[in-house]
Amino acid sequence: MEIINNIEDYKEILRNEIKNDNLVIFPTETVYGIGANALSEEAVKKIFDVKTRACNNPLIVHLKSKDEIEKYAYIEQEIEKKLIDAFIPGPITIILKKKDCIPGCVTASLDTVGIRVPENNIANRFLEIVDYPIAAPSANISSRPSGTKVDDIKDEFEGKVGYIIDGGESQIGLESTVIKVIDGIPTILRPGFITREMIEEVIGICNISKHVLREVENEKVESPGMMYKHYAPKTKCLLVYSKDINTLRELVKDNLINKTIILGSKKLKDIKCYKFIDYGDTLESISHNIFSKLRECDMYHANLIIIEGVEKVGLGLAIMNRLIRTSEFNYIEK
Ligand code: TXA
Ligand code: MG
């Protein structure tokens, strides 16, 4: 696999890779994506193969500018238009009714498509250079933490992907907010950097899908991605949260076993354990660090990772949505 540092030197190569139905890993402001020509069934199939992704989990289509949206999807409602005007480009994916040119394999046969225009110079330049709509999930093997820097993912895709564009560490570190207007109300299917509060400021109201914080049972689910095991290191995880620092510290101590890693903020630094890993002290830094720190945890061959939870508001909701899945719903809150 070749690592690209200056995209301008590789314009021709990248254009040909995408044209020839190959995969390219590229940075965005949220996480790295593993991209292919969204109009080619053969190319899209490669994404599912390489990631070992379930074929009923639809992909997001990335576009170079918001002027392109109506080539691939219908903007049918005024609220959709308002959301696009307010938040695109940016770390958000809007689910719209798809046009026929988007093949069913991209959308897992749904009649909707997730559309995203990133806000990252390298991502935008890549999309401009290749000049195709790019279907791209997060760059990680399914169920593993999403990739937020090249070093974390290059081995996972060695021999399977020819080129990876290095854009440094992903600025946000968590995947985009996925939003769909349901019965006239914007509904967050996957929380992200664009929060409910930010959307309410523009639209007045915003719902959150009930699957964001709980397990999907046998029921209809708006966002198929919520059904799967996700974001997990190889080591077993336990997520703990309390608003009260003393209760939190007790929760951690009570659950320590032999060879336990504590992954959390400085509040827990002095608790005796196998290894303490600092994930930052603000929601922004935790969001930025979390996937890479989860991967780091695996290097220590521990028996358990106890992860400190955060309050489920603002960006904290997105962090908890990921961590609850990381720990496979193994979660204690007091
Ligand atoms: O930030 C991001 O969104 C990153 C970067 C690369 O853009 N991409 C990403 O893709 O996170 P992925 O495939 O890991 O997650 C896509 C999510 C899944 O939960 C999927 O179920 C949902 O979006 N999704 C995609 N199309 C959908 C649709 N038509 N209806 C409902 N949910 C959809
Ligand atoms: Mg993903």
Residue 222 falls within a domain, yes or no?
Answer: no
Residue 175 falls within a domain, yes or no?
Answer: yes
Q: Which amino acid is at 5?
A: N
**Same domain (yes/no): 25, 140:** yes
How does residue 329 score in pLDDT terms, banded at 50, 70 and 90?
A: very high
**Same domain (yes/no): 251, 203:** no
- Residue 150 exposed, middle or buried by CB count within 10 Å (0-12, 13-18, 19+): buried
Q: What is the pLDDT of residues 260-269, one digit of tens each?
A: 999 999 999 9
- Return d(Cα 28, Cα 301) in angstroms, integer: 31
Residue 213 falls within a domain, yes or no?
Answer: no
Range of the domain at 329: 237-333
Of 250, 249, 267, 262, the residue nearest 303 (C-alpha):
262
Among 81-90, 193-202, 205-214, the minimum mean pLDDT is found in: 205-214
Whether residue 268 contacts residue 262, with contact meaning beta carbons closer than 8 Å, is answered with: yes
**Same domain (yes/no): 63, 158:** yes
Percent of the chain with pLDDT over 90: 91
- pLDDT at residue number 232: 87
Region 28-45: mean pLDDT is 98
Our answer on whether the CB atom of 104 is closer than 6 Å to any ligand 1 atom is no
Among 147-151, 162-166, 221-225, 304-308, the minimum mean pLDDT is found in: 221-225
Whether residue 91 has a cis bond before it, omega within 30° of 0: no
Count of domains in the chain?
A: 2
Ligand closest to CA 146: 2
Whether residue 302 contacts residue 260, with contact meaning beta carbons closer than 8 Å, is answered with: yes
Our answer on whether the CB atom of 30 is closer than 6 Å to any ligand 1 atom is yes
Q: What is the pLDDT of residues 115-162, one digit of tens each?
A: 999 999 999 999 999 999 999 999 999 989 999 999 999 999 999 999
**Same domain (yes/no): 137, 22:** yes
- pLDDT at residue number 79: 98
Of 208, 226, 258, the position where a domain reaches its end is: 208
Residue 216 falls within a domain, yes or no?
Answer: no
- Return d(Cα 31, Cα 10) in angstroms, integer: 22
With the most atoms of ligand 1 within 8 angstroms of its CB, the residue from 26, 60, 62, 138 to mutate is: 60
**Same domain (yes/no): 107, 183:** yes
Position 223 pLDDT exceeds 90: no
With the most atoms of ligand 1 within 8 angstroms of its CB, the residue from 63, 93, 216 to mutate is: 93
Residue 288 falls within a domain, yes or no?
Answer: yes
**Same domain (yes/no): 135, 39:** yes
**Same domain (yes/no): 77, 171:** yes
